[in-house]
Amino acid sequence: MEATTDFYQLIDALKADSANSLGLFMPELTLSVFIALFLAVRLITSKLDMFWVALAGAVVALISSNPLQLCEGVLQSEELFTGLLVHDGLTVAIRSILMLFLLLFLIFTKISGVPDKEDGADVYSLVFGSTLGMCLMASANHLLIVFLAIEMASVPSYVLAGLIKGRKRGSEAALKYAIYGAGAAGVMLYGISLLVGLTGTAHLPTVALSLAKVIPAAGLGEQAVLCLAAVMISVGIAFKLSAVPFHFWAPDVFHGACAEVNAFLSVASKAAALALLLRLAVGLGSVPLINEIEVPQTKEVQSETVLSEIVTAQMVALEGDKGDVDSAGQIDSSADDRNQEAVVAYDSPIELKQAQDEALTPVRNFISLLIAFFAVLTATFGNLAAYGQKNIKRLLAYSTIAHAGYMMMAVAPLMVMLGTNNNAAEDAASALIQYIVVYVFLNLGAFAIIAFLRNYVGSEEIEDYSGMVKNRPVLVICLALIFFSLVGLPPLSGFLGKFAIFASLADGYTTTGSSVLLILLLAGGMNTAISLFYYLRVIKTMVMGEPNEEHHLGDRPVGNIEMAYVILVTIPTVFLIVCWQWVAGFADEAVKNFIS
CA dist., res. 448 & res. 271, Å (int) = 18
pLDDT of residue 183: 93
CA dist., res. 161 & res. 177, Å (int) = 8
In total, the chain counts a number of residues equal to: 596
CA dist., res. 19 & res. 16, Å (int) = 5
CA dist., res. 15 & res. 164, Å (int) = 45
CA dist., res. 348 & res. 320, Å (int) = 9
pLDDT of residue 291: 46
Q: How far is CA 574 from CA 135, 295, 403, 477, 587, in A?
A: 29, 50, 19, 12, 19
pLDDT of residue 106: 96
Q: What one-letter code names the amino acid at 488?
A: G
Closest by CA position to 575, among listed 499, 501, 503, 494: 494
Pairing between strand 324-325 and 85-87?
unpaired
CA dist., res. 502 & res. 514, Å (int) = 14
pLDDT of residue 68: 87
pLDDT of residue 36: 95
pLDDT of residue 304: 40
Q: What one-letter code names the amino acid at 394?
A: R
Q: How far is CA 584 from CA 424, 431, 487, 492, 580, in A?
A: 15, 8, 20, 15, 6
Run of H or E residues at 78: strand 78-80
pLDDT of residue 308: 41
Q: Which residues of the chain have pLDDT under 50?
A: 291-344, 553
pLDDT of residue 213: 87
What are the pLDDT digits (tens) for 54-92?
999 999 999 999 988 887 766 788 889 888 999 999 999
**What single string gives the DSSP state of each residue in 497-541?**
HHHHHHHHHHHHHHHH--HHHHHHHHHHHHHHHHHHHHHHHHHHH
Closest by CA position to 146, among listed 29, 233, 271: 233
pLDDT of residue 173: 87
Q: What are phi and psi of 185, to 5 degrees?
A: -65, -40
pLDDT of residue 158: 93
Q: What one-letter code names the amino acid at 465?
A: Y
pLDDT of residue 221: 83
